Amino acid sequence: MERKITVDHTQAALAVFGSCNGHLDLIGQILDVSLEVTGDGLLIRGDEENLARAAAVCEQLLEIDRQGHPINLQLVTYLADTAREGNLEQVFGYTPDCVCVTAKGRPIRSKTLGQKAYVQAIRNNEITFAIGPAGTGKTFLAVAMAVNAFRAHEVSRIILTRPAVEAGEKLGFLPGDLQNKVDPYMRPLYDALHELMGVDHYLRNLEKGLIEVSPLAYMRGRTLDEAFIILDEAQNTTPEQMKLFLTRLGFNSRAVVTGDITQIDLPFEKKSGLKEAQRILQGVEGLAFVSLTQRDVVRNVLVQRIIRAYETSGERGG
C-alpha cells in the first residue's frame, strides 16, 4: 500500500525530511516503511498499519514545523517510537511548548508528552512530584520553571536542596568545610542555574540571598514563604526528612520534588522518603505525581537503550 503527503513549501520539506533525508531514513527504519521524496511532497509505502503510523508522524512533524518549533532527530525518534507502539493519538496530541528562555536566548521546550505533563502539573499544583530515570529532564525543567516564576515575580526567591547521601563514596575525604563537601552534590543544580540565568546574574542573586542552594539538613526549623523550592534526588531522603521538607512550604510558595526510585543510595535498612510519600500522599488535593519513563529520556539515544536493558534485567531477576 502507499500514501502521498503533500508538503506546502521547500522550507517545510527541509525541516521535516532532515539533512540528506536523514529524518525520513530514521522513520523508515523504526516503522519499517519506505519513504520517497516526490516533486510536491512525500510517498510512503508499507503495510496498512505501519503506513498509517508513518503518515501520522510525518503529518505531525509538518504541523510542528507550521507552529514554528524546531525539528531534530530526538523529536523524530520520539514520535516514531510513540507511533510504533500504536499510540497515534499521542503522536497527534504532541507539540512542544516553551518552558523558559536561557540567558543566551535559547528557548527551553518540553520534548516529550511526559515532560509536557510534568510542566503542566507544576503550573497547576503547589507541590509536584516527578519520578523517573536519569535524563528525563526532572531537575532541569523544575529549575526552568523556578527561574520563570522568579523572573515573573511570582516568587521572591529560589531554594534548591538535595540530601547529602553518598553514592558509594564518602563525604569525609573531600577537602574543606561542610559547604565545600556538599558542593559536588549540588553541581547539577548549579549547572542548570548557570545556563538558565547566566553566571553573573546567578551570583548576584546568590549574594542577595534570593537564590539558595543547600543540603536538606539546612531546612530544619524554617518556613519558606514566597519561594520556589526544589528537592532533588528525593529518593535518598528518609521518610522523616521528606515530611520535614514538605512541611516547610509557606504562603505563596511552590515545591517540586524529583527522584528516581531505582537509584536509592540509602543504607539497606532505611526506607526511601520518596517511596513512602508516593504511597501516602496519592489523591491529596493540590499535589500531583508525574511518572516519567525511559521514553522521556532526552539524552543520547544510547541512554534509553541502557535504561531499557536494566529494566529488562530487573524483570528477569538479573
Q: Which region among 163-167, 232-236, 291-295, 302-306 has the lowest average model confidence (pLDDT)?
A: 163-167
pLDDT value at 138 more than 70: yes
Cell numbers given for 166:
553518598
pLDDT computed for residue 171 by the predictor = 47
DSSP of 199-263 = HHHHHHHHHTTSEEEEEGGGGTT--B-SEEEEE-SGGGS-HHHHHHHHTTB-TT-EEEEEE-TT-
> Can you tell me the mean pLDDT for 48-52?
93
Alpha carbon distance 40, 8 (integer Å): 8
Which among 152, 126, 112, 128 is positioned nearest to 232, based on CA atoms?
128
The pairs formed by 199-207 with CB atoms below 8 angstroms and a separation of 24 or more are: 201/103, 205/158
Per-residue pLDDT reduced to its tens digit, 88-134 = 988 998 888 889 999 888 888 888 889 999 999 999 999 999 999 98
pTM for the structure as a whole: 0.81
93 contacts: CB under 8 Å, gap ≥ 6: 113
Alpha carbon distance 80, 231 (integer Å): 33
141 vs 220, residue with greater confidence: 141
> Can you tell me the mean pLDDT for 301-314?
70
pLDDT computed for residue 121 by the predictor = 96
Per-residue pLDDT reduced to its tens digit, 153-185 = 999 999 999 887 544 444 454 455 555 655 676
pLDDT value at 141 more than 90: yes
Q: Are strands 211-215 and 157-162 parallel, antiparallel or unpaired?
A: parallel
> Can you tell me the mean pLDDT for 12-41?
89
pLDDT computed for residue 250 by the predictor = 92
What end-to-end distance do the CA atoms of the chain give, in Å?
A: 43
pLDDT computed for residue 190 by the predictor = 86
pLDDT computed for residue 306 by the predictor = 77
Alpha carbon distance 101, 116 (integer Å): 16
Which residue shows C-alpha cell 529488562? 312
> Can you tell me the mean pLDDT for 228-235?
94
pLDDT value at 307 more than 60: yes
pLDDT value at 258 more than 50: yes
**Gyration radius of the chain over CA positions:** 22
Count Cβ atoms below 10 Å from residue 312 Cβ, excluding itself.
10
Q: Are strands 127-131 and 287-291 parallel, antiparallel or unpaired?
A: parallel
Question: Which of helix, strand or coil describes residue 279?
Answer: helix
pLDDT value at 73 more than 60: yes
Q: Which region among 4-13, 14-23, 97-106, 279-288 has the lowest average model confidence (pLDDT)?
A: 4-13
Cell numbers given for 156:
521572591
pLDDT computed for residue 278 by the predictor = 93
pLDDT value at 270 more than 50: yes
pLDDT computed for residue 235 by the predictor = 94
- Percent of the chain at pLDDT above 90? 49
Alpha carbon distance 291, 224 (integer Å): 26
pLDDT value at 303 more than 80: no
190 vs 168, residue with greater confidence: 190
pLDDT computed for residue 301 by the predictor = 64
